[in-house]
């Protein structure tokens, strides 16, 4: 799942909408993954909002153009217009 690491800063995404998704600590993500593993779950997405989980699950069935538009929107700085 998304977590607070140096990735956002290194990739210069601090102002991007997607950076607000990186809210969980590495310890929280690791703990959630371990608990999920003990329950036999293969997928766990701690800290990922429900709307994004749904989008990720549906992405194989959504037109690629729409997936790319949403991905681009999440990576643009907040308040930035599309080029």
pTM above 0.75, yes or no: no
Residue 74 pLDDT? 78
Q: What is the pLDDT of residue 34?
A: 95
Phi then psi for 6, rounded to 5 degrees? -80, 0
The pLDDT profile of the chain, 83 residues, written as one tens digit per residue, is: 456 777 777 877 777 776 666 677 888 888 999 999 999 999 888 877 788 888 888 888 989 999 889 888 877 877 665 55
Helix or strand holding residue 27 (H, E): helix 26-38
Q: Which of 23, 27, 73, 37 is nearest to 8 (CA)?
A: 23
């Amino acid at each position: 799942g998304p977590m607070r690491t140096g990735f956002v800063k290194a990739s210069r995404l601090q102002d991007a909408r997607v950076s607000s998704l990186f809210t969980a600590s590495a310890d929280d993500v690791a703990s959630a993954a371990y608990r999920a593993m003990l329950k036999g779950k293969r997928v766990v997405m701690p800290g990922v909002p429900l709307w994004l989980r749904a989008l990720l699950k549906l992405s194989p069935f959504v037109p690629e153009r729409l997936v790319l538009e949403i991905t681009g929107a999440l990576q643009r700085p907040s308040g930035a217009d599309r080029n």
